[in-house]
Amino acid sequence: MLESNHKRILRNTGMLYIRMLLAMVVGLYTTRVLLNVLGVEDFGIYFVVAGFVALLGFMQGALTTATQRYFAFDLGQNSGHNLRGLFNTSLQVHALLAVCIVMLAETAGYWFVSTRLNIPEGRLVAALLAYHLSVASFAVTVMTVPLTAMLMANERMGLFALMSMADLLLKLAAVLLLPYLVYDHLSMYAALLLVVSLLTLSGYLLINRAIFPGVRLQRGFDKKSFHSMLGFTAWNTWGNLAAALSEHGNNVLLNIFFGPAVNAGRSIATQANGALNQFVTNVQAAINPQIVKLYASGEREQMHKLALRAAKYNFFILLVLAMPVLLNPDKLLRLWLVEVPPYAAVFLQLTIVASLINSVSGPLMTSAQATGHIRLYHSVVGGILLLNVPLNYLLLSCGLPPETLLAVTIALAVVALVARLYIITPLIGLPVGLFLSRVVGKATLVALVAGIFAILTQAASSGSLLILFSNLITAMAVTLIAIWMLGLDKSERQYIVSLLKSLKARTPLI
**Rounded CA gap, 351 and 379, in Å?**
25
Higher pLDDT, 499 or 290: 290
pLDDT value at position 219? Answer: 65
Among 53-62, 96-105, 357-366, 491-500, the minimum mean pLDDT is found in 53-62
Q: Do the domain assignments include residue 412? A: yes
Residues 63/69/73/79 CA torsion (nearest 10 deg): 70
Q: Are 420 and 369 in contact (CB under 8 A)?
A: no
Helix (H) or strand (E) holding 272: helix 260-296
Higher pLDDT, 26 or 394: 394
Q: Do the domain assignments include residue 208? A: yes
Residue 504 binned pLDDT confidence (cut-offs 50, 70, 90): low
pLDDT value at position 71? Answer: 79
Q: Do the domain assignments include residue 463? A: yes
Residues 6+ apart with CB under 8 A from 143: 91, 94, 95, 98, 201
Whole-Å CA distances, 292 to 83, 214, 370, 435:
15, 23, 5, 19
Q: Are 289 and 152 in contact (CB under 8 A)?
A: yes
Q: Which domain holds residue 77?
A: 2-500
If we measure between CA atoms, which residue out of 278, 355, 281, 362 comes closest to residue 323? 355
Q: Do the domain assignments include residue 84? A: yes
- Give the number of domains in the chain: 1
The secondary structure of 80-92 as a DSSP string is TTTHHHHHHHHHH
Q: Are 177 and 121 in contact (CB under 8 A)?
A: no
Give SS3 for 297: coil
If we measure between CA atoms, which residue out of 277, 308, 289 comes closest to residue 157? 289
pLDDT at 308 over 70: yes
pLDDT (tens digit per residue) in 109-147: 889 888 877 788 788 888 899 889 988 998 898 888 888
pLDDT value at position 165? Answer: 83
Higher pLDDT, 510 or 449: 449
pLDDT at 1 over 60: no
**Residue-wise burial string across 253-263, b where 16 or more C-beta atoms lie within 10 A, e elsewhere:** bbbebbbbbbb
pLDDT (tens digit per residue) in 218-259: 666 667 777 777 667 666 767 777 777 777 788 888 888 988
Q: Do the domain assignments include residue 382? A: yes
Q: Do the domain assignments include residue 288? A: yes
Whole-Å CA distances, 427 to 28, 290, 364, 438, 478:
40, 18, 10, 19, 37
Q: Is 387 exposed, middle or buried (0-12, 13-18, 19+ CB in 10 A)?
A: middle
Give SS3 for 27: helix
Residue 274 binned pLDDT confidence (cut-offs 50, 70, 90): confident
Q: Do the domain assignments include residue 460? A: yes
Would you tell me how many other CB atoms lie within 10 Å of the CB of residue 168? 19
Mean pLDDT computed over every residue of the chain: 82
The secondary structure of 473-502 as a DSSP string is HHHHHHHHHHIIIIIS-HHHHHHHHHHHHH
The secondary structure of 379-425 as a DSSP string is HHHHHHHHTHHHHHHHHHHTT--TTHHHHHHHHHHHHHHHHHHHHHH
pTM across the whole model: 0.72
**Rounded CA gap, 163 and 150, in Å?**
13
Higher pLDDT, 10 or 385: 385
pLDDT (tens digit per residue) in 316-353: 989 998 999 999 998 899 888 878 888 999 999 999 99
Amino acid identity of 162? L
**Rounded CA gap, 192 and 137, in Å?**
10
Q: Do the domain assignments include residue 316? A: yes
If we measure between CA atoms, which residue out of 50, 36, 41 comes closest to residue 261? 41
Residue 38 binned pLDDT confidence (cut-offs 50, 70, 90): confident
**Rounded CA gap, 68 and 58, in Å?**
17
pLDDT value at position 495? Answer: 75
Q: Are 20 and 278 in contact (CB under 8 A)?
A: yes
- Maximum separation of any 2 CA atoms in the chain, in Å: 68
pLDDT value at position 243? Answer: 75
pLDDT value at position 510? Answer: 42
